[in-house]
Amino acid sequence: MAAGNITLTMIKPDAVRKNNIGPILGKINEAGFRIRAMKYTQLTKAQAEAFYAVHAERPFYADLVAFMTSGPIVAAILEKDNAVQEFRKLIGSTNPKDAAPGTIRQLFAEDVQNNAVHGSDSDENANIEADFHFAKTERF
Ligand code: CDP
Ligand code: MG
């Protein structure tokens, strides 16, 4: 099956608090992604729990939900050939200690929880996550 051309990102509350929306969007643009949808919003507890439901049994889930609702985020649908894999390459490993030089997490993340950005992990989840954040009328 051909790789999909969209992925879903969130600029997380830690990066928003540090005034890094602009620099992170700059990296995304430089890497050749096109912005198909974008919003500045704050997740409710119910929304964060639903978005990360796959991690519900993990020990970090409650802290993750608290963190993701602690301030506003920027959600966006990004388009590029092979978007999911290309974006995971651009953001680097979950733990910034392991993230390659020049990746968004290496540059902007604090630690494994406060790691600056989200990126979808599969084409299927990219579509689910895009639908989670955006109505059809909000996509261009
Ligand atoms: O975001 P990514 O797909 O790289 O990682 P994940 O394994 O899907 O975990 C989702 C999010 O949970 C991470 O981005 C971190 O914010 C958080 N997390 C955490 O707080 N502690 C961990 N040990 C692992 C993940
Ligand atoms: Mg993930």
Q: DSSP state, 131? A: H
pLDDT tens per residue, range 73-119: 999 999 999 999 999 999 999 999 999 999 999 999 999 999 999 99
Residue 100: alpha-carbon gap to chain centroid: 17
Cβ of 70 below 6 Å from ligand 1: no
Q: Which ligand is nearest to the CA of 87?
A: 1
Q: Please give the radius of gyration of the chain, using alpha carbons only, rounded to the nearest integer.
A: 14
Q: How many CA atoms lie within 13 A of 15 on its CB side?
A: 27
pLDDT for 52: 98
> Facing residues of 8 across strands?
77
Report the C-alpha gap between 13 and 31 in whole angstroms: 22
Confirm if 70 and 78 have CB atoms less than 8 A apart.
no
Could you give the C-alpha distances from 47 to 43, 66, 90, 132, in angstroms and in order? 6, 11, 26, 9
Residue 1 pLDDT more than 60?
no
Distance 31 CA to ligand 2 centre (A): 21
pLDDT tens per residue, range 43-80: 999 999 999 999 999 999 999 999 999 999 999 999 99
Clarify whether 55 is annotated catalytic.
no
pLDDT tens per residue, range 29-39: 999 999 999 99
Domains, the chain, with CATH or none: 6-138 (3.30.70.141)
Distance 99 CA to ligand 2 centre (A): 15
Best residue for ligand 1 mutational test, from 12, 57, 64 (most atoms within 8 Å of Cβ): 64
Name the nearest CA neighbour of 4 among 122, 137, 133: 122
The active-site residue out of 12, 105, 118, 133 is 118
Confirm if 14 and 116 have CB atoms less than 8 A apart.
yes
Distance 1 CA to ligand 2 centre (A): 21
Give strand ranges (E) for 1-140: 6-11, 34-41, 73-79, 117-119
